[in-house]
Structure 1
Amino acid sequence: MSSITSAQPADAAATGVSLYRAIWRWHFFAGLLVIPFMVNLAVTGSLYLFKDEINNTFFGYRYIVQQGAQPLDPETLVNAAVAAVPGSTATSYKDQASPDRSVIVTVSRDKTSTLVFLNPYDGKVLDTVGAEQEFNYVVKRIHSLAWFGDFTNKLIEITAGFAMVLVATGIFLWWPRRQTGGVVTVRGTPSRRIFWRDLHAVTGAFAGILIFFLALTGMPWSGYWGANVNSWLGSHGLGYPTQLWDNVPKSQKVSSDILPKVGWTVEKAPVPLSDIAAAQSKKPVGLDVAVDTAKASGIRPGFDVALPSDASGVYSAAIYPDDVAGQRMIHIDQYSGKPLVDLSYSQYPIFGKTIEWGISVHQGQQYGRINQFLMLATCLTIILSCVTGLVMWWKRRPAGRVGVPPMPPKPSVYIGLWIIAVIFALAFPLTGLAILAMVLVDQLVIRFVPPLKRAFA
């Protein structure tokens, strides 16, 4: 009887050691795989947080103008933009955000879009730049790796999922276990591995919630998870209020097809059609009337207006400002000048509101400077965690080996972790599949191939 009793603590201790080693091993492999991607996300994300400041400082010559008496009408400015790019067609017009801001007209020629910046008071062209070469657009596309194709964009989705895994496993490894150092303090000096271990653990633990938040709120932009969630919410009336489109004819186009900037929740919302029967007896009201209609509705300054591309198209005015409460999209019949669909943030269902709020906070916009610098601090913490993780690994790595944390003495502990991986795969399929592949390689390849087992020891 006494032997059984004495064996229980030993068995519990072995289980505890096995769980710790298994999670440590997961944490190591996940970090090793995503460090380059995490650094890219943190660096480009930091730049994008300050996109307005960058525009004002480095590109102020095309964004900032001397305020004049009376701006020219939109149609005159659009004609000036088209003349600046011969053979082009105007596709959208961006109204002044404030009296000292330029007007931006997007024109298209040979399926290539160009941004034309104009002084709204005299119609002078300030600059032209390819829509896909604009600085902040490039930063955003590199941030998501969409700049390099759909496959690399999927890798970012996997990275975001792994970031959540790293936070969860990292907090488990950090959790105090009778030690006094390395919980809120950093021991040793930079010459010692424990210094880097503590710096990695303490900063990661305290910034973990924010890192997890950034990873989760970045998911809506992902190519697989984000697209499927958006589609599911839209088809169930949980993303945007589909009933607003019940009584209007709908085209095959969606909001993201025509507008230069559109909110995630409504990017797949259908674009209405103008009353084509009216084309026989009425002329289009024109951009000036459409802009006046949008302004009369109370839309915030700085809105975009997508121009009709054919006889059945509509004028679509939209704005997605820093504060999500100001989000608005209005589709206007090009013959009557009347709004067909008028949608604001207050009309979104709860899921749409929550996701848009998360995206705005993710981009450092919702709560002003505090939000902006808090997200910057989180990005810097991610970079620090990557650097300290690499230094810590390098200092403990045996010569000629990778230095992977040891396998758990009780392989049965993986049963619970497999269950967790399957649950995660259901929530975030691409990341879950990557985790399952990682565990399979660890258990079925590294474990039983002697050269790999030695290299990864």
Structure 2
Amino acid sequence: MDIGTSSKYKKVNEDTLFYKAAWRWHFYAGIFVTPFMLILAVTGMLMMYIGYFDGRDGEKVTVPVPPNAIMLTLQEQSNIALSTHPKGKLVEWIKASEPNRVNVFRIKDSDGSQSMVAVNPYNGKIVNEWLRRQGWYDLADDIHSDLLLGPIGDRMLEIAAGFAIILIITGVYLWWPKDRKIRDFLIPKLSLKGRLFWKEVHVSLGVYVSIFFFLFLLSGMSWTGIWGGKIFQAWSTFPAQKWDKIPLSSETHASLNYGPSAGMPWAIEETPLPASGSKLGVDGTLPNEAVNIDSIERLAQRIGFEGRYRVSFPKGKTGVWTINQDTMNSDAPNPFADKTVHVDRYTGHVLAKVTFDDYSLAGKTMAVSIPIHMGLVTIWNLIINTIICLSVIVLSITGVIMWWKRRPKDSGFKLVPPPIPSKLPHWHNAMILMLALSLFFPLAGITLVCVLLLDMFVLSRIPILKKIFK
């Protein structure tokens, strides 16, 4: 064998060994990720379609518009809503998006529960009332967010999302054509039979949705507790220092969420709120006009708020009126028009205003990607998201079918993963990749390193475990 042939043989052998290693990582990541991806895809679709057809905060509830209709004042409507909860307090008003829609008031009761009251703006009748975050949408959202397990479920989903990124990377590597043109691999050969047929479906579909799936995972991880809350959001939040000479509260915008459901824009959740009680700010409500929900609504109209938006009532002595329109809340279909305005509760002065243009690059990215992730930007967004969710379900199911068909008939309860290569070429490249993953997604990276060490030094050396995992 000449030197050239020997080098070529060595290169092919190394590629084969690394392929087997990548396949093994892909297998283990898939074993862990599959149930979570199925849950996320199913609950994600439920949330999109419940929101589309039924709404989340009463935005779909309609009322007849009488001839020569005159609306009651918001103060009158809010008093009617509050009369059903005499020990409660008003915390938010959600403006009707159309003349034939209801105004919705959010009330916090003395026991901490929150109720949504839909009021007919023409005759003041209460059209509907429900406990906040107690519907089918909210159940699907809770499962989608933390599996109903609180912080533990949140961490599990964050790890699963990180492992899903490993699945994408290793999957593309396993698919990448070595000797043939890429276009030969983009069209599945559906004439194949058995495991090869399922592999064709799995591989081709995975390649087509990989980029969209990756973007879904990143935008979804922005809500996780560690990567999203402690790292990404903390580095990317709107700096309150831009509000020169405005008194700031010890409360952040997240305090206006009144519970686990995010209502404030992602980019400003961790930003301190302005505080009422000074003479600062610019002209807001009209001179000699009482500062109440009606004057705040007229101010909102004058400064460009149209359609559906929300007004948070002042919280505490230094609390502010907050006017907010956010695509994430289904208020408007255009994330570039998102805006938040804070008004002093005593003087009616506008203390601060934040628009899409003020967000950091990460904040702008999230302002666009979150509503897209939720399927809120046009009907086409909903359709594309549905295709992606269905693709994730098909990928999960075909992955399990491929594994089942590859297992020997006498394997019993063994997982039968791809074998560990006796030598791992390019290991330093793999370590660099894992280090980068560990730094960017700490929980997933730490878990990956632990799994690999467990695989190398425990599962392959203890006889009982070796029988199951070999």
TM-score between both structures, scaled by the size of structure 2: 0.89
Q: Give distance in 1, aligned partners of 2:267 and 2:219.
A: 13
Quick check: 2:195–2:406 contact (8 Å CA) kept in 1? Answer: yes
**In angstroms, what is the RMSD of aligned CA positions?**
2.4
Secondary structure at the counterpart of residue 147 of structure 1: coil
Q: Give distance in 1, aligned partners of 2:85 and 2:212.
A: 45
1:340: Cα distance to partner? 0.6
1:227 is aligned with what amino acid? G
Give the stretch that moved more between structures: 218-227 or 22-31. Answer: 218-227
Partner residue, 1:45: 44
Aligned residues: 446
Partner residue, 1:112: 113
Q: Give distance in 1, aligned partners of 2:62 and 2:451.
A: 51
Q: Which runs of 5+ in 2 are unaligned?
A: 281-287, 328-332
Once the two structures are superposed, what CA deviation does each residue of 1:394-429 show, in whole Å capped at 9, x if it has no partner? 111123121201111313544432221111100111
Partner residue, 1:308: 314
Partner residue, 1:329: 340
Q: Give distance in 1, aligned partners of 2:128 and 2:60.
A: 6
More helix, by proportion: 1
Give the stretch that moved more between structures: 145-154 or 20-29. Answer: 145-154
Partner residue, 1:252: 250
Quick check: 1:276–1:311 contact (8 Å CA) kept in 2? Answer: no
1:308: Cα distance to partner? 1.3
Q: Give distance in 2, aligned partners of 1:415 and 1:60.
A: 55
Q: Give distance in 2, aligned partners of 1:166 and 1:230.
A: 22
Which of 416, 432, 439 is equivalent to 1:419? 432
Secondary structure at the counterpart of residue 172 of structure 1: helix
Which of 191, 194, 202 is equivalent to 1:192? 194
Which of 264, 269, 272 is equivalent to 1:270? 272
Q: Give distance in 2, aligned partners of 1:431 and 1:224.
A: 11
Which of 429, 435, 456 is equivalent to 2:448? 435
Give the stretch that moved more between structures: 335-344 or 27-36. Answer: 335-344
1:336: Cα distance to partner? 1.6
Quick check: 1:323–1:365 contact (8 Å CA) kept in 2? Answer: no
Q: How does 1:362-401 map to 2 (within 5 A)?
A: 362-366=373-377, 368-398=378-408, 399-400=411-412, 401=414
Secondary structure at the counterpart of residue 248 of structure 1: coil
1:140: Cα distance to partner? 2.0
Once the two structures are superposed, what CA deviation does each residue of 1:215-274 show, in whole Å capped at 9, x if it has no partner? 11212111111112355335xxxx325344222111111112114611110111211111
Q: How does 1:23-422 map to 2 (within 5 A)?
A: 23-55=22-54, 63-68=61-66, 69-109=69-109, 110-145=111-146, 147-178=148-179, 183-188=186-191, 192-234=194-236, 239-259=237-257, 261-275=263-277, 285-321=291-327, 322-366=333-377, 368-398=378-408, 399-400=411-412, 401-422=414-435
Give the stretch that moved more between structures: 328-337 or 445-454. Answer: 445-454
Once the two structures are superposed, what CA deviation does each residue of 1:258-302 show, in whole Å capped at 9, x if it has no partner? 146111101112111111689xxx996211111211221111321
Secondary structure at the counterpart of residue 311 of structure 2: strand
Secondary structure at the counterpart of residue 70 of structure 2: coil
Q: Give distance in 1, aligned partners of 2:58 and 2:321.
A: 29
Q: Give distance in 1, aligned partners of 2:309 and 2:300.
A: 9
Quick check: 2:252–2:271 contact (8 Å CA) kept in 1? Answer: yes
Flag the 1:61–1:157 CA change in 2: closer, same or farther, 3 A. Answer: closer
1:133: Cα distance to partner? 0.7
Q: Give distance in 1, aligned partners of 2:149 and 2:118.
A: 27
Give the stretch that moved more between structures: 412-421 or 121-130. Answer: 412-421
Quick check: 1:72–1:120 contact (8 Å CA) kept in 2? Answer: yes
Partner residue, 2:20: 21
Quick check: 1:240–1:349 contact (8 Å CA) kept in 2? Answer: yes
1:446 is aligned with what amino acid? L
Secondary structure at the counterpart of residue 44 of structure 2: helix
Flag the 1:275–1:126 CA change in 2: closer, same or farther, 3 A. Answer: same
Once the two structures are superposed, what CA deviation does each residue of 1:335-387 show, in whole Å capped at 9, x if it has no partner? 22121111111222333212211222222233x12222111111110000001
Once the two structures are superposed, what CA deviation does each residue of 1:141-185 show, in whole Å capped at 9, x if it has no partner? 211126320110111111211121111111111122446976522
1:248 is aligned with what amino acid? I
Quick check: 1:62–1:118 contact (8 Å CA) kept in 2? Answer: no
Give the stretch that moved more between structures: 379-388 or 5-14. Answer: 5-14
Flag the 1:413–1:186 CA change in 2: closer, same or farther, 3 A. Answer: same
1:47: Cα distance to partner? 2.1
Partner residue, 2:284: none
2:302 is aligned with what amino acid? A
Q: Give distance in 2, aligned partners of 1:20 and 1:241.
A: 46
1:53 is aligned with what amino acid? Y
TM-score between both structures, scaled by the size of structure 1: 0.91
Flag the 1:230–1:106 CA change in 2: closer, same or farther, 3 A. Answer: farther
Partner residue, 1:446: 459
Quick check: 1:259–1:304 contact (8 Å CA) kept in 2? Answer: no
Flag the 1:209–1:188 CA change in 2: closer, same or farther, 3 A. Answer: same
1:269 is aligned with what amino acid? T
1:75 is aligned with what amino acid? Q
